């Protein structure tokens, strides 16, 4: 149990385009979903927290207009990187949390912006 | 501000030995602490959760201790195997819902 999927697993796009990443909890209802970013050889940095049906809470320094998060249902959250630039290239990982404290992570999405 | 420290240097041990990883924190009183394993290019995988009122927790070859006086958690892997080679992350709750703050991780290399 507690499986979280992400799609796509990797994406290459041109600078200026927008990219949408989906995060799904497959076998449980996720009241809260989290989006992280991880640069090479660094730890996970929380970008935002989202609860189903409400606006996401962004961490300091994360532009909410650039990283659009939607959590429309208890099993799906999306992160859209708008007008992506090369500095947005990173490994994006989502996690989902249900009633317990544990976060279950997706496999990650590697984004490369050319 | 809260700070979580894990040894950034890789830990190299021989197969069969016990690996011990350390997680220290300051300016913090977490209600619980979690350990995750992360393989290259993959998302973290949950291993163990230990609460502030628990001193020790075990799961198969894994053992975690939590000393709230020292503000430290130790993560042990007994009878280590090459397949245990990965980066291990500790994460603490920040007393605000289910949010976690992660340490930088320690890379473990188990040599056959």
Query: What is the bridge-based pairing of β-strands A19-25 and A10-13?
Result: unpaired
Cross-chain Cβ contact B43/A49 below 8 Å: no
Q: Determine the distance in angstroms separating the CA of A29 from the nearest CA of chain B, rounded to an integer.
A: 15
Least confident of B4-13, B77-86, B89-98: B89-98
Tokens of A7: 């799609």
Q: Nearest chain B Cα to A99, which residue?
A: B98
Q: What is the pLDDT along chain A (114 residues), one digit of tens a residue?
A: 689 999 999 999 999 999 999 999 998 898 899 999 999 888 899 999 998 888 899 999 999 999 999 988 899 999 999 999 999 999 999 999 987 778 999 999 999 999
Q: What is the DSSP letter of A59?
A: P
DSSP-derived 3-state class of residue B27: coil
- Picking from B111, B108, B96, B110, the residue whose alpha carbon sits closest to that of residue B36 is B108
- Tell me the chain B residues in contact with residue A103 when contact means C-beta distances shorter than 8 Å: 34, 46, 91, 98, 100
Cβ burial, residue B24 (10 Å; 0-12/13-18/19+): middle
What's the whole-number mean pLDDT along residues B41-65? 94
Q: Determine the distance in angstroms separating the CA of B57 from the nearest CA of chain A, rounded to an integer.
A: 15
Confidence band of B45 (pLDDT split at 50, 70, 90): very high
* The pLDDT of residue B95 is above 80: no
- Picking from A97, A46, A61, the residue whose alpha carbon sits closest to that of residue B102 is A46
Alpha helix stretches (DSSP H) within B48-110: none
Cross-chain Cβ contact B104/A43 below 8 Å: yes
Confidence band of B96 (pLDDT split at 50, 70, 90): low
Least confident of A21-25, A51-55, B68-72, B75-79: A51-55
Q: How high is the pLDDT of residue A11?
A: 96
Q: How high is the pLDDT of residue B9?
A: 86
One DSSP character per residue, A16-84 reads T--EEEEEEESSS--SEEEEEEE-TT---EEEEEEETTS--EEPTT--TTTEEEEEEETTEEEEEE-S-
Q: Determine the distance in angstroms separating the CA of A53 from the nearest CA of chain B, rounded to an integer.
A: 17
Cross-chain Cβ contact A102/B99 below 8 Å: no
Confidence band of B37 (pLDDT split at 50, 70, 90): very high
Q: How high is the pLDDT of residue A5?
A: 96
Q: Nearest chain A Cα to B107, which residue?
A: A41
Cβ burial, residue A40 (10 Å; 0-12/13-18/19+): exposed
**Cβ of A106 under 8 Å from any chain B Cβ?**
yes
* Higher pLDDT, residue B27 or B4: B4
């Amino acid at each position: 149990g507690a499986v979280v999927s992400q799609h796509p697993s990797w994406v290459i796009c041109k600078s200026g385009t927008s990219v949408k990443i989906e995060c799904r909890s497959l076998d449980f209802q996720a009241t809260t979903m989290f989006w992280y970013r991880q640069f090479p050889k660094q730890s996970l940095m929380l970008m935002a927290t989202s609860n189903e049906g409400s606006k996401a809470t962004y961490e300091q320094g994360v532009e909410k207009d650039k990283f659009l998060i939607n959590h429309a249902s208890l099993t799906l959250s999306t992160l859209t990187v708008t007008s992506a630039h090369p500095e947005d290239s990173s490994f994006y990982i989502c996690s989902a949390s249900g009633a317990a404290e544990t976060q279950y992570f997706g496999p990650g999405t590697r984004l490369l912006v050319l | 501000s809260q700070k979580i420290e894990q040894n950034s240097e890789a830990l190299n041990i021989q197969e069969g030995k016990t690996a011990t990883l350390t997680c220290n924190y300051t300016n913090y009183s977490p209600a619980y602490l979690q350990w995750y394993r992360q393989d290259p290019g993959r998302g973290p995988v949950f291993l163990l959760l230990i609460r502030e009122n628990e001193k020790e927790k075990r799961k198969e070859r894994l053992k975690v201790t939590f000393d709230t006086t020292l503000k430290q958690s130790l993560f042990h892997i007994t009878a280590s195997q090459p397949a245990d080679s990965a980066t291990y992350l500790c994460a603490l709750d920040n007393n605000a819902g289910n949010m976690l703050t992660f340490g930088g991780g320690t890379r473990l290399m188990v040599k056959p």
